[in-house]
Structure 1
Amino acid sequence: MSTLRTVLVVGGGAAGCAATILLRRAGLTVDLIEAKDDWNATAGSGITLQGNALRVLRELGVWERVRESGFGFGSVGITAPDGTVLHVARDLRTGGDDLPATVGMRRPRLQRILSDAVRASGATVRLGTRAETFAQDGDGVRVRFDDGAEGRYGLVVAADGLGSATRAAIGVTDRPEPTGMAIWRVAAPRPAGVVRTDLCYGGPAFIAGYCPTSDTTLYAYVVEANRDRAAIPPKSYADEMRRLAQRYGGHWSEITPHITDPAQVNYTWFDRMVVEGSWHRGRVVLVGDAAHCCPPTLAQGAALSLEDAWVLAQLLTGADDWDDALLQAYYERRIPRVRAVVEASVRIGQWQLDGVRDADVTGLMNRTMTLLKELP
């Protein structure tokens, strides 16, 4: 039976944009809806993109813009709280030898690059729009939107993030669960000596680190035990982060004075989730954070989301029928890799919560990164 080869992508983040670009390249009709009126108004100070993420961005045709906009590097430093560098390790090139090991960049800049590529692909984009209901039959999905419009599609790709309304609407009951940690993030000017990510495990917080995002900028972060969000008024965000950061030395002495504007500081709990069994119900399929999420201890959240979109697009464009077996094959191909990354990311944080002093953090990171060198 021939499949109605039209796709609705719900959500305009990394996974949704990637799926849209790849499906449009294959000649499919794609509509993308995004709940925000301005999908480029992306919160967040910065993002660390490792080689396996860069590999997908190259496939999307945006690698040159990413390279020009970010800061590439190939090592990570481990420091003491006073800033003394204890060890420098070379990062694995998980995207292959022809790509940097890591690129740091401003998160809103990455979103702009991806959204520009979506528009250039010829996809129909509707901002400020939500899907309300999904009525499925044997060969399609009728979707009703919050503005009263309706559309019929051969497949719906749910890329609407951690709190995915689509996931709930199709009866998937999994929800993100807090791991017990939270992170403060801020963008700041880059000191000339910051040419890689440096991490400190310990001190007044569990982790303190920074990542260059351009020739002139970086993003800095401090990880602590999560606190009741209601007890931290947003107007105090800069004071709270600065209180933790000012107890670290080295380049932190140049970064901390810039933590002054609470509107520029982001506070987020660490969550974990892996939807098990399948990532689809009928002709609605989950990608990215709608299907799985993990703490950023391995900096793999966006990479896994981009990989999901790449794998799903490969399967969809190579098949005549988008049936249950095809969508289950997508899950079976992704789940071992995703589960391994989520479990490793959570374990690194749990070791710190439990005060394990002899934890093999470096070994676990290396084993996981080695796994990610393989194509998804």
Structure 2
Amino acid sequence: MTAVRTIGIVGAGAAGLTLAIYLADAGFNVEVLEKADGPSTLGSGITLQGNALRIFRDLGLWQQLEQKGFAFNELGLRAPDPEATVLAVLPDVRTGGEDLPATLGIPRAELTDIVRRRAVEAGVKIHFGASVTDVFQDTDSVTVRAASGATFTFELLVGADGHNSTVRSLIGVVDRPLRTGMGAWRAFVPRPSEVTRTDLIYGGPAYIAGYCPTGEDTMYAYLVERAQERDAHDGPRIMAELARAYGGPWQEIAESIREDTPINYTQFTAHIVEGPWHRGRVVLTGDAAHNCPPTIAQGAAMAVEDSAVLADELIRADSFDESLLLRYRQRREARIRTVVEASVQLGQWMLDGHKDADVPGLMHRVAHTVAVPV
């Protein structure tokens, strides 16, 4: 006898769908409510480190991810000089174990498509165009109302709807993401042949110039600057100008940015919901409960790890009470705090101009923390 049988998940991103797969495989009745009208094809690329790959391998998805993405085991550091001189090539920590690569770059749409198809195969029902407007609960159930007027009733509701979570607001959690002072331009562009790993340049007109290969012919490039109000319509021109200030592959990247190239600009934010991550029979997971700047590329990994831990607690429990959801948060809190605080600290060092900051030590501490399986 399990604690609950019917579970609703708000949000069809990687965190929500990962949780849905774990639960559906275990025999739960799972429905996902997604506000978008259909599967998203938007976004550039995403960096998945080994601890995220370990979760996806557990779900039988590694081979598909490997085929659609680009795996590598090194991190390059380049100088902000006209040649983008390679200063060092460092072996990356294989946080998922030695039988998985350290890092996989993959287009976001490909990742979501692979995970969504697996969820549907497991029996998960996905409702697109289901924008949640109200949540009501009693001692035994949770009822969700969508903007269309449709209602859904579950024994447990999970808010996996991102850092601007509607569910979080509806259940009265007041914690919100705060801007950290940095912003980033991102572009999804053709991959120059010499780009076979992530290379980072610290300095120049941006704090960080970096890229990640995502397939045989694709990659995403990013430039991190002090946060400011930017006109997205002017994005291709601004990003191309910034890119031209760097050498090496950046010259080819700059040339590939056209007027119609989709460019994304976001300001970095961070938060951790303090206290319980639930109210009654509604619980938060992934970016709805915590988020961090992408400075150490652990945001997606933390979200899917949440899903694995919450699923484990639900599958093992034979009754439902508050202690189940408290255990879930307790298992995640220290690890999440380490990652979020380190991600913010790395950015703050750059904003403050700390040239002697112990960046290698910070990165080493995080890598060895997340290398321990959840």
Place the TM-score, normalised by the shorter chain, in its bin.
over 0.9
Percent of paired sites with the same residue: 50
- Aligned equivalent of 1:341: 339
In structure 1, C-alpha distance between the alignment counterparts of 2:4 and 2:73, rounded to whole Å = 45
In structure 1, C-alpha distance between the alignment counterparts of 2:30 and 2:3, rounded to whole Å = 14
**Range with bigger deviation, 314-323 or 340-349:** 314-323
Q: Establish whether residue 69 from structure 1 lines up as the match of residue 61 from structure 2.
A: no
Shift of 1:216: 1.2
Does the aligned pair in 2 maintain the 1:3–1:139 contact within 8 Å?
Answer: no
- Aligned equivalent of 2:306: 308
Local SS of the residue matching 1:135 = strand
In structure 2, C-alpha distance between the alignment counterparts of 1:182 and 1:101, rounded to whole Å = 26
Shift of 1:314: 0.6
Letter matched to residue 173 of structure 2: V
Shift of 1:46: 0.7
- Aligned equivalent of 1:374: 372
In structure 1, C-alpha distance between the alignment counterparts of 2:364 and 2:74, rounded to whole Å = 13
- Aligned equivalent of 1:143: 144
In structure 1, C-alpha distance between the alignment counterparts of 2:218 and 2:153, rounded to whole Å = 45
- Aligned equivalent of 2:47: 48
- Aligned equivalent of 2:250: 252
**Ranges in structure 2 where 5+ consecutive residues have no aligned partner:** none
Shift of 1:150: 2.1
In structure 2, C-alpha distance between the alignment counterparts of 1:17 and 1:272, rounded to whole Å = 23
**Range with bigger deviation, 31-40 or 168-177:** 31-40
Shift of 1:147: 2.1
Deviations 1:203-249 (A, max 9, x none): 11100011111111111100001112xxx332210011111111000
**Ranges in structure 1 where 5+ consecutive residues have no aligned partner:** none
Letter matched to residue 123 of structure 2: G
- Aligned equivalent of 2:132: 131
In structure 1, C-alpha distance between the alignment counterparts of 2:192 and 2:152, rounded to whole Å = 51
Matches within 5 A, 1:234-313: 234-313=232-311
- Aligned equivalent of 1:172: 173
- Aligned equivalent of 1:328: 326
Shift of 1:131: 2.2
Local SS of the residue matching 2:44 = coil
Structure 1 residues 214 and 6: alpha-carbon distance in aligned structure 2, compared to 1, 3 A threshold: same
Deviations 1:139-181 (A, max 9, x none): 2212222222222211001000011010000000011100000
Shift of 1:132: 2.1
In structure 2, C-alpha distance between the alignment counterparts of 1:20 and 1:261, rounded to whole Å = 39
Shift of 1:75: 0.6
Matches within 5 A, 1:49-128: 49-82=48-81, 83-128=84-129
Structure 1 residues 2 and 46: alpha-carbon distance in aligned structure 2, compared to 1, 3 A threshold: closer
Q: Establish whether residue 222 from structure 1 lines up as the match of residue 223 from structure 2.
A: yes
Local SS of the residue matching 2:12 = coil
- Aligned equivalent of 1:19: 19
Local SS of the residue matching 2:172 = coil
**Range with bigger deviation, 172-181 or 132-141:** 132-141
Letter matched to residue 60 of structure 1: L
In structure 2, C-alpha distance between the alignment counterparts of 1:99 and 1:322, rounded to whole Å = 36
- Aligned equivalent of 1:193: 194
Structure 1 residues 99 and 2: alpha-carbon distance in aligned structure 2, compared to 1, 3 A threshold: closer
In structure 1, C-alpha distance between the alignment counterparts of 2:132 and 2:141, rounded to whole Å = 15
Which 4+ stretches in 1 moved above 6 angstroms?
A: none
Letter matched to residue 10 of structure 2: V
**Range with bigger deviation, 262-271 or 285-294:** 262-271
Does the aligned pair in 2 maintain the 1:46–1:104 contact within 8 Å?
Answer: yes
TM (norm. structure 1) is 0.97
Letter matched to residue 134 of structure 1: V
Structure 1 residues 93 and 3: alpha-carbon distance in aligned structure 2, compared to 1, 3 A threshold: closer
Shift of 1:262: 4.8
In structure 2, C-alpha distance between the alignment counterparts of 1:306 and 1:29, rounded to whole Å = 20
Shift of 1:2: 7.2
Does the aligned pair in 2 maintain the 1:235–1:262 contact within 8 Å?
Answer: no
Structure 1 residues 354 and 3: alpha-carbon distance in aligned structure 2, compared to 1, 3 A threshold: same
- Aligned equivalent of 1:28: 28
In structure 2, C-alpha distance between the alignment counterparts of 1:181 and 1:145, rounded to whole Å = 35
Structure 1 residues 62 and 279: alpha-carbon distance in aligned structure 2, compared to 1, 3 A threshold: same
**How many residues were matched structurally?**
372
Does the aligned pair in 1 maintain the 2:2–2:316 contact within 8 Å?
Answer: no
Deviations 1:69-95 (A, max 9, x none): 101000101110121011111000000
Local SS of the residue matching 1:182 = strand
In structure 1, C-alpha distance between the alignment counterparts of 2:343 and 2:2, rounded to whole Å = 41
Local SS of the residue matching 1:271 = strand
Local SS of the residue matching 2:248 = coil
Structure 1 residues 355 and 172: alpha-carbon distance in aligned structure 2, compared to 1, 3 A threshold: same
Superposed CA RMSD in Å reads 1.2
In structure 1, C-alpha distance between the alignment counterparts of 2:3 and 2:336, rounded to whole Å = 29
In structure 2, C-alpha distance between the alignment counterparts of 1:22 and 1:322, rounded to whole Å = 18
